[in-house]
Amino acid sequence: MVIHADLRQIAHDRVLLGALAAGNLGAALAEANRQLVRHVVRIRVLRGSRVVVDANPTSFDVAGSGMDLQAPNGRSLGRLQITVQDVIGFIKLVHKLNAADVVVRGTLGDMRTSLPAAAKLSLPLSGCTQIGAHTYVVRSLKETSFTGEPLTIWLLSAK
Residues 78 and 94 in one domain: no
Q: HSE on the CB side for 137, CA within 13 Å?
A: 5
Residues 130 and 145 in one domain: yes
Please answer whether residues 31 and 11 qualify as being in contact, where contact means their C-beta atoms are separated by less than 8 angstroms: no
Running along the chain, 159 residues long, what does each successive block of 10 average in pLDDT?
87 96 97 92 96 95 92 94 91 88 95 96 97 96 93 95
Q: Which of 83, 117, 147 marks a domain boundary?
A: 83
Backbone angles phi and psi of 85, in degrees to 5: -140, 120
Task: Give the residue among 115, 105, 29, 120 at the shortest CA–CA distance from 60.
Answer: 105
- Domains in the chain: how many in total? 2
- 46 vs 71: CA distance, rounded Å: 15
